[in-house]
Amino acid sequence: MPIYRTPGVYVEEVPSKAHPIESTGTSTPAFIGTGGKPDAPSGPVAITNWSQFANTFLGEGPMTPLAHAVNGFFLNGGSRCYILDIGPSGTLTGTAERPGLAVLEAIEEVAIVAAPGFTDPADYDALMTHCELMRDRLAILDPKQGIKDLMSLTRVAGVEVPDSDATPAADAGEGGGQHPPRRSGEPDADAPRPSLYSARYYPWLVVMDLNTGKPVLAPPSGHMAGVWARTDSLRGVHKAPANEVLRGVVGVERRVTPAEQGELNSAGVNVIRFFDRLGIRPWGARTGAGPSAPEWRYLPVRRLFCMVEESIAQGTSWIVFEPNDRLLWNLVKADVSAFLTRLWRDGALMGRTPAEAFYVKCDEETNPPEEIDAGRLTVEIGMAPVKPAEFIVFQVCQFSGGTITEEGSSRG
């Protein structure tokens, strides 16, 4: 407290006790693969436009899946991404010459991970394991090219073994890293194991190769990462990145019927549809959570919680080593409540009032003496996220002379 000796008016700047929590970014992807240039950098490189990518990574000849993905990302609204070029013979887990997914752990900005064209069970598992470890990003998975049996996308892929091998199947689990063996002769299986931190799309897209000028097939992950970024920018992470125009796409590998999509949608496959009037659009917004975790079925819900968890973790770092008492509890509760109130006003949470949209609990009940003695402060947070209107039902009736006759319903 300063000492005043002369009568007069003094103005002091008093620091606020509030610590505003800012939303973290949700639209920066990391793409893994090879652009075809022999002397490409070996570590993650931040890229902000197509020209920068072409000068740094693009090789001669037909474009690679990575190059198509990055081009599709920028065409569809993306503005910044990281490129991890692992070379033509590299792996997602890395080699002695080129680092793998682990090098992305140090980049907090990354919120999306994709390896365009990598569709083996081991590749799926590497991507999902990385995202499950980080808990602040999701993997966009590509399907195999040229799938004949669409129902193979609903069956979890495993390692093929001979018929004579009687080894019992390993439990893949929700976060496990092993795949059950599949005996030869069984139906094809092309689905990854369940994961709360993944989303997959089908089919491949027909795009123009910028090097050859010819139409070719490209994996959908890069274009969809761009749609995610565009939707986040225009509407927010709580809006499903679906029913949006896909730019830079002239066709799809296969036109999926509504009946076929019904089966795929139930299995968590987000189908990219061709509509005569609407054009080519992603027509699904589900995660790979599987039936065991229905509360995480929808992609915007999972991504919203990832953003909220990371934002709170970063925005409350000032708490560490503060006295763990009632004053601190009230400050934390006020900061988190103010952050969630802004989300509610933006339309990310349900409810007519903030009290219906969320709650924040930080008191003696969440912080008993034994927890305080252990150096822990616990804040309990509950949120009611908005969910996408996936099935639009119009009940149609005949009205004549005051009598209503039910006719049926229409779903979209």
pLDDT over threshold 90, residue 16: no
Work out the pLDDT band at 355, boundaries 50, 70, 90.
very high
What's the pLDDT score for residue 7?
Answer: 86
pTM for the whole thing? Answer: 0.89
Rg over CA atoms, the chain = 25
List pLDDT tens digits, range 213-230.
999 999 999 999 999 999
Joined together, the tokens standing for residue 326 give 């009632």
Per the CB < 8 A criterion, the answer to whether 92 and 126 are in contact is yes
Question: Does pLDDT of 20 surpass 50?
Answer: yes
Domains recognised in the chain with CATH numbers: 29-296 (3.40.50.11780), 321-412 (no CATH)
> DSSP label at 319?
G
Could you report the per-residue pLDDT of 81-98, keeping only the tens digit for each? 999 999 998 899 998 889
Averaged pLDDT for residues 138-154: 97
The pLDDT value recorded for residue 236 is 97
Burial of 53-85, coded b for 16+ CB within 10 Å and e otherwise, reads bbebbbbeeebbbbbbbbbbbbbbbbebbbbbb
Could you write out the three-class secondary structure of 358-383?
A: EEEECCCCCCCHHHHHCCCCCCEEEE
d(CA 150, CA 263): 9
Q: Is 403 a residue whose pLDDT tops 90?
A: no
Q: Say whether pLDDT at 320 is over 90.
A: yes
How many angstroms separate the CA atoms of 232 and 249, rounded?
21
pLDDT at 13: 75
**What's the pLDDT band for 412 if we cut at 50, 70, 90?**
very low
Q: Is the pLDDT of residue 303 over 80?
A: yes
Taking only the tens place, the pLDDT of each residue in 172-185 is 444 444 566 666 55
Closest CA to 216 of 68, 409, 412, 9: 68
| pLDDT bracket for residue 11 (50, 70, 90) | confident
CB atoms < 10 A from the CB of 102, how many?
13
DSSP alpha helices (H): ranges in 183-325?
221-234, 258-266, 299-315
Query: In this predicted structure, which of 7-21, 285-299, 305-319 has the lowest mean pLDDT?
Result: 7-21
Q: What is the pLDDT of residues 104-120, one digit of tens each?
A: 999 999 999 999 999 99
Q: What's the pLDDT score for residue 314?
A: 95
